[in-house]
Amino acid sequence: MELSTTGVPVIRILPDVLASQVAAGEVVERPSSVIKELVENSLDAGAGEVLVEIRRGGAALMRVSDDGCGMSREDALLSLERHATSKLAEAADLHRIQTLGFRGEAVPSIASVSRFRMVTRPRGDLAGTEIRLDGGAEAQVREAGCAEGTMIEVRDLFFNVPARRKFLRTETTESAHIEHQLRLHALAADGVRFRFLKDERQVFELPAGRSRRDRVRWAVGTSLAGELIDLPEQRGRGLRVSGFVLPARHARKGRRHQCVFLNGRPVEDPAISRGLAEGFRGAVNDGLHPAAWLWIELDPKLVDVNVHPAKREIRLHRPHDLREAVAESVRRGLAAIERPRQEPAPSKPLAASSPSFVARPVAAIERPLPLEAPAAEETAKPGPRAPRFRQIGELLGRFALMESEDGLVMLDPRAARERILYERWLAAGTEGVATQALLVPRVIEPGPREVDLLLRHRELFDAAGFEIEDFGNGSIRLGATPAFLHDEDPASLLLEVVDDLAEGASGSSRFASEKVAAVLARRAARRESPGPHEAPALLEQLFACDLPYCAADGRPTLSEFSLSELEKRFSR
């Protein structure tokens, strides 16, 4: 900061190159941000085919080629000026934006932090234009022979901004984010052919003209494609909603598996997420979110897409209308698949004299509650840290009821078993998990970012009993699983771990170990399903744990009701 002779900071106008680098910090967060902006420009140019090539996770090279309308020499040079755009002419256009790009910041921002090359030729022209510049320096321009359309090449991203370059993740992680971004655009623009090459190897090729359902089937993989539920088109005031969802049992943590396209633009908005949740109300547990792919057509006057530099967020003028339309479309889609299952059973006449036709409480007790004192061996053996409890009964076959020195204690056997297994596996590095090889290896298709997370922690999953390897195109090959799973679906357990890792704030190996151990413990305890009669043995093991009073996810293992609290409840 420069100070005047009086010690007051001097205000100066930023040089153009520095201003572009500052803007790049908002628009270009990582290589996938570059791909997003360039592909959006290709689609706005009317491309029928888009080819994306990257090397070393995009840090070394990103190249986007299209067969769109191309640009003249003058327009190509103007596109490198800040706030130069063909998509806005007056202020009123901001209220009816129908293109993916419009700010005029992306190309100059990208060029200011890379070694940039553009080759473009308008349709019908005999020759094209090539422009080169390094880090926003003076452009080198020449005439070039090229195909109609535009090719933009970005090399050495952030070469002149080392502080930004050091924050890039591994090549596989950056590649996964790029592939995820391309998958979104491929879903949004089903009439465009997409090709993606990574390190000179083709990752996928999608022909143009396939239906939305075909593209979603490609995105979710063959194992889930048959479970897609069509959502009937729902119309409202200036809007239209359609798409697909998966059944409630496939709901997951986070919203990474919710893809929403508004007027062809991938977006995120809480009103849409709430609409999905309301449509699934009663079917999805708290903390989970249904998998969905939605296409929304909305009057451009009813949405503001100019509220975020990267255009991820939007502002709806009537969010309630869209939320209701999404919810109703989901409700109708789910109801359509439920009707065939609800065939009425043949009715049987009830005799008036039938003994079962007697008024009595609905919740009749089918087995007596064991209120008598347990045998001596059922009293928990106190360890060095364990308080002394005496088991006096059970509740609904789920909770053990015990008497303590200060009142009543309830034990959740399953939560207790989770804590015991969690600490045991965490201490042993999951070495105690027995494995079973699959007779036929299974291919699971969770998506590129999820595969990156799994492979990043492959050694940890190997120790936990999973044998995984990269199978390409957002899929993994599973050769072995933990033995305790038996016939349970291993994919759901893997995805549960991935969701926990993705939602966490840390990518450390310790954090990953804790997440894997927690999910394994939860699944194993669910399968064992310990009952209240196992309370004495569970308590002995539980109070050998570091944190005996809660499971790995924070749920209580024990709840105590003091005598004073009980007397207060009964006004004594």
Encode pLDDT of 87-111 as tens digits: 544 555 555 566 776 656 789 889 9
179 is written with which tokens? 């592939």
- d(CA 246, CA 290) in angstroms, rounded, equals 7
CATH of domain 373-572: 3.30.1540.20
* Three-state DSSP class for residue 564: helix
* Three-state DSSP class for residue 436: strand
pTM: 0.75
- d(CA 89, CA 482) in angstroms, rounded, equals 61
| CA dihedral for 368, 373, 375, 380, sign (positive or negative) | positive
Q: What is the pLDDT of residues 453-477, one digit of tens each?
A: 888 888 888 888 888 899 888 889 9
CB under 8 Å, gap of 24 or more: what pairs does 285-290 form?
285/251, 287/253, 288/251, 288/252, 288/253, 289/251, 289/252, 289/253, 289/254, 289/255, 289/257, 289/258, 290/245, 290/246, 290/248, 290/250, 290/251, 290/258, 290/330
Which spans in 436-508 are helix H? 448-456, 458-463, 490-503
Strand order in the sheet with 49-55: 140-144, 128-134, 115-121, 149-155, 61-66, 49-55, 193-198, 201-206
Q: Position 182: which residue type? A: L
Class of domain 16-210: alpha beta
- d(CA 301, CA 317) in angstroms, rounded, equals 8
CB 460 within 8 A of CB 431: no
Phi/psi at 268 (5° precision): -130, 135
Q: How many residues are recorded in the chain?
A: 572
CB 284 within 8 A of CB 277: yes
Q: Which residues pair with 152 in a beta bridge?
A: 64, 118
- d(CA 404, CA 387) in angstroms, rounded, equals 8
- d(CA 56, CA 21) in angstroms, rounded, equals 23
The percentage of residues in the chain with a pLDDT greater than 70, rounded to a whole number, is: 80
CB 195 within 8 A of CB 66: no
- d(CA 297, CA 506) in angstroms, rounded, equals 37
- d(CA 322, CA 176) in angstroms, rounded, equals 31
The reply to whether 373-572 shares the fold of 16-210 is: no
Fold of 213-339: Ribosomal Protein S5; domain 2 (3.30.230)
CB 518 within 8 A of CB 500: yes
* DSSP letter for each residue of 196-241: EEETTEEEEEE-TT--HHHHHHHHH-HHHHTT-EEEEEEEETTEEE
Nearest Cα to Cα of residue 262 among 305, 219, 233: 305
Give whole-number Cα distances, 425 to 17, 50, 514, 537, in Å. 54, 48, 9, 19
Q: Which residues pair with 508 in a beta bridge?
A: none
543 is written with which tokens? 């109070």
CB 407 within 8 A of CB 565: yes
Q: Count of CB atoms within 10 A of residue 19's CB? A: 16
* Three-state DSSP class for residue 454: helix
Question: What pLDDT, on a 0 to 100 scale, did the predictor assign at position 363?
Answer: 31
| CA dihedral for 119, 124, 125, 127, sign (positive or negative) | positive
- d(CA 330, CA 79) in angstroms, rounded, equals 42
HEC letters along 40-94: HHHHHCCCCEEEEEEEHHHCCEEEEEECCCCCCHHHHHHCCCCCCCCCCCCHHHH
Contacts with 267 (C-beta within 8 Å, 6 or more apart), sequence order:
260, 261, 305, 312, 313, 314
- d(CA 196, CA 94) in angstroms, rounded, equals 33
566 is written with which tokens? 């009980």
Contacts with 211 (C-beta within 8 Å, 6 or more apart), sequence order:
190
Strand order in the sheet with 258-262: 229-236, 239-245, 292-298, 258-262, 265-266
Taking 70 as the pLDDT cut, the residues of the chain under it are 1-8, 10-26, 83-98, 101-104, 308-311, 339-386, 429-432, 487, 503-508, 572
Nearest Cα to Cα of residue 409 among 365, 379, 372: 379
- d(CA 494, CA 553) in angstroms, rounded, equals 17
The structural domains of the chain, with segments of one domain joined by +, span: 16-210, 213-339, 373-572
Nearest Cα to Cα of residue 276 among 311, 324, 315: 324
